[in-house]
Amino acid sequence: MKNLGLGLVVVAAGLGLGGCVAAVIGNAPDSGTAADPRARSSADADRALSAAVSARLGANPGLSRAAIMVSALDGTVTLRGRVGSEALRASAERMARAVAGVVSVQNQLQVK
């Protein structure tokens, strides 16, 4: 009889905490993780913005051969890498700012 009582307590605790697991792991509706469609759409928008900026920079003959890494987070674009001159560094920032959806640019490009 004691084992049955203990078993019921364990089952009840498991059922009661089942919802907590989803929240801790990140599968709860408002957790903001990849299981949340809002998080996916934001990540997709960041990837699309990075691709648009990269394409714009790649169309510039002076920048197309430069090793520029572009990342985006909520409309803020970060440029990293090396360019051949200060003029190319400034040009890359201007071109990135001109892309639709860019809110701000963090220019971390170094002149080699």
- pLDDT (tens digit, 9 = 90+) per residue, 62-111? 888 888 999 999 999 999 999 999 999 999 999 999 999 999 999 999 99
pLDDT of res. 64 = 83
Fold type of domain 36-112: Histidine-containing Protein; Chain: A; (3.30.1340)
pLDDT of res. 13 = 54
Evaluate whether 45 touches 38 at the Cβ level (below 8 Å). no
pLDDT of res. 66 = 82
Evaluate whether 96 touches 102 at the Cβ level (below 8 Å). yes
Question: In this structure, what token pair is assigned to residue 74?
Answer: 């909520």
pLDDT of res. 38 = 56
6 pLDDT above the threshold of 60: no
pLDDT of res. 93 = 97
- pLDDT (tens digit, 9 = 90+) per residue, 23-55? 445 555 555 555 556 577 889 999 999 999 999
Specify the 3-state DSSP secondary structure of 2.
Answer: helix
For the chain, state the CA radius of gyration: 24
pLDDT of res. 62 = 87
Question: In this structure, what token pair is assigned to residue 20?
Answer: 């907590």
Q: What is the pTM of this model?
A: 0.66
| Phi, psi of 15, deg, nearest 5 | -65, -40
Domain boundaries, the chain: 1-35, 36-112
